[in-house]
Amino acid sequence: REGDHFLQYRIDLPDSPSAIVPAIRGISIGWEAGPTAREPSGRGYLRPLAVRGEGLVRFRVSVPEGGYTVVTVLDRAGSIVRTLVAENRPVGGFDVVWNGKSQVGEMVDEGVYIVSLMWGRRCAARRFAFLR
């Protein structure tokens, strides 16, 4: 639809995948017009899918190359709410479920959050609404 926007950003990560939370060397933010549901071929993607009536959100994730992969839920300010995946993953797709709890196990408020996928030296992100 005309007028749809998505946030695209780039994060440069260190070459060592041993860090649990990668250090950020640089970030650039820009808006592009385009459909939010499109999954570019040859690139990783995230698709938030609600699990109705259960207070859960399922993320369908795909990475085009194996390696260290991090899936993180962020609040609107960009602070980490919860790290869902931080491990070496093979090429392909997988699902991740978030139960709405923070890193310390507290239930978060309803609202708009961001899910971030980082693999290798690439990243993708999507906004989603969390409703209980």
Asked: is 41-130 a CATH 2.60.40.4070 domain? The reply is yes
The 10s digit of each residue's pLDDT in 43-102 is: 555 555 555 556 788 888 888 888 899 999 999 999 999 999 999 999 888 888 899 999
For residue 39, the number of C-alpha atoms closer than 13 Å in the C-beta half-sphere is 12
Strands (E), the chain: 5-12, 26-33, 45-51, 56-63, 67-74, 80-89, 92-98, 111-119, 122-130
Give the count of beta carbons closer than 10 Å to the beta carbon of residue 102: 13
Give this prediction's pTM: 0.63
List the domain boundaries for the chain. Answer: 41-130
